[in-house]
Structure 1
Amino acid sequence: MPWLLLAVVLATAPLAQARNDRRSDDSVAGVFDYYLLALSWSPTFCLTHADNEQCTGKGYGFVLHGLWPQYDRGGWPQFCKGAAPLTAAERAQGSNLYVSGQLLSHEWKKHGTCTGLGGAGYFSQADKALAVVKIPPALQPSTTYRSLEPKAIVDLFQRANPGLPSNAIAVRCNGPELAEVWVCLTKDLTFKACDNGVRSQCRSGEVRIPAVR
């Protein structure tokens, strides 16, 4: 039945695609309210992308998915016009942050262009944001398969990051596995409450945290 097919498609859509229902189609570079730092748990990504360059024995745990401009009212700008193409030096700068060249290009085109900072400024801001958010010791890369409740993951991040409020962090899952942790930051890269549309999305009970590959 058509409604059943639609339900299946929606349930299996990637997290990044699930955000598209709140995008802005009138995006202007530099016009936004805060940042969302998206940290991806690489071993979960690698369960379904074993041939990707980040999944070839690198042993990654949390990696940078992106630094995304957001609106306080909900939604976000994307694919802003007018930004100059990345230079070779800017690509080299970004390659120190992103685990693949494909991800770097995508994140710059979709999100970086909307910061109004230019390539060097955007990658510098992403680097600073990564330094602000500390990964808890208990969530460092491990060869051991673990399970935790989403609230326990939030608690670990709060203990590792004094001053991080519970409404500034969201835990996202891909089925039963941990997929991402999102942290909301001001333009000055201090913790702030996310808008109401940025929230945890995991099943009840414990979620699995795959081991590194």
Structure 2
Amino acid sequence: MNRLNAVVALIVLTFANVGPSSARDSGSTRPQSVAGVFDYYLLALSWSPTYCLTHRDDAQCSGKGYGFVLHGLWPQYAQGGWPKSCAPRVKLSPQERAKGLMLFPSQKLLEHEWAKHGTCSGLGAIGYLEASDKALGAVRIPEQLQPLSSTHYFSARDITQMFRQSNPGMADDGIVVICNGPQLSEVRVCMDKNLAFASCGKGVKTQCRAGEIRVPPLR
């Protein structure tokens, strides 16, 4: 009986020592969210008519006739994932907010994107907004995807090809298409830290069904 008790005690002691250590080791491999520490950017362009199908009260959905709008410029890790909500979490000043509203379609989106993604750029608010403006200016929207007056249908492959044809130098693996059910939701373009076109990192993939997807018209 004493021998059995000793074995049980040894097993309990072993798990007590190994468990917490293993948890710390597994956690230590996860990148920390530190401002300025990332590998590349992901420029997310939302197709506003799809968003407005389910967000009719949003500021961007009040008959402004938007096509693609800036969702965000997101710092990314090459091996997958991204930093978020980096310290210091400084709110936008009135001047910075005014500048941001020239780029983002709503104040709510602007403030969310700055808090979650912009703080991790390491550029400060004005620097982040200027980088977002530069990234937007670097991407030419294909003629076929300018604001539409009627519903169109394209495959995700068609959409990526249109963007590459309109943007020489865009990498084959540097653009992905995101869908919301059967409809176009976003196009995301990968860029290096200098905002030149680049290949996407791990985990950035097209997320659409096979075949044609619906591209809703202006609202």
**Which residue of structure 2 lines up, in the alignment, with residue 146 of structure 1?**
152
- Whether contact under 8 Å (1:43, 1:212) holds in the other structure is yes
2:196 paired residue among 185, 190, 193:
190
Task: Say whether 1:56 aligns with 2:62.
Answer: yes
Task: Say whether 1:137 aligns with 2:164.
Answer: no
Tell me the amino acid that sits aligned with residue 87 of structure 1: S
2:184 paired residue among 169, 178, 181:
178
User: Structure 2: how far apart are the matches of 1:155 and 1:85?
Assistant: 39
- Whether contact under 8 Å (1:83, 1:118) holds in the other structure is no
**Which residue of structure 2 lines up, in the alignment, with residue 208 of structure 1?**
214
Post-superposition shift, 1:50? Answer: 1.0
User: Structure 2: how far apart are the matches of 1:155 and 1:72?
Assistant: 23
**SS of residue matched to 1:154:** helix
Runs ≥4 in structure 1, deviation > 4 angstroms?
none
Percent identical pairs in the alignment equals 56
Tell me the amino acid that sits aligned with residue 44 of structure 1: T
**Which residue of structure 1 lines up, in the alignment, with residue 166 of structure 2?**
160
Post-superposition shift, 1:83? Answer: 4.4
Post-superposition shift, 1:26? Answer: 2.4
Task: Say whether 1:71 aligns with 2:81.
Answer: no
Tell me the amino acid that sits aligned with residue 213 of structure 2: V
Aligned residues: 190
Q: TM-score, normalised by structure 1?
A: 0.87
1:41 paired residue among 26, 31, 47:
47
**Which residue of structure 2 lines up, in the alignment, with residue 88 of structure 1?**
94
**SS of residue matched to 1:196:** coil
- Whether contact under 8 Å (1:43, 1:61) holds in the other structure is yes
Deviations 1:108-130 (A, max 9, x none): 00000001111100000000000
Post-superposition shift, 1:84? Answer: 3.2
User: Structure 1: how far apart are the matches of 2:144 and 2:93?
Assistant: 38
**Which residue of structure 2 lines up, in the alignment, with residue 20 of structure 1?**
none
Deviations 1:35-79 (A, max 9, x none): 000000000001111111111100000000000000111100000
Rg larger in structure: 2
Q: Which runs of 5+ in 2 are unaligned?
A: 1-29
User: Structure 2: how far apart are the matches of 1:25 and 1:60?
Assistant: 36
**Which residue of structure 2 lines up, in the alignment, with residue 4 of structure 1?**
none
**SS of residue matched to 2:81:** coil
**Which residue of structure 1 lines up, in the alignment, with residue 132 of structure 2?**
126
User: Structure 2: how far apart are the matches of 1:143 and 1:109?
Assistant: 35
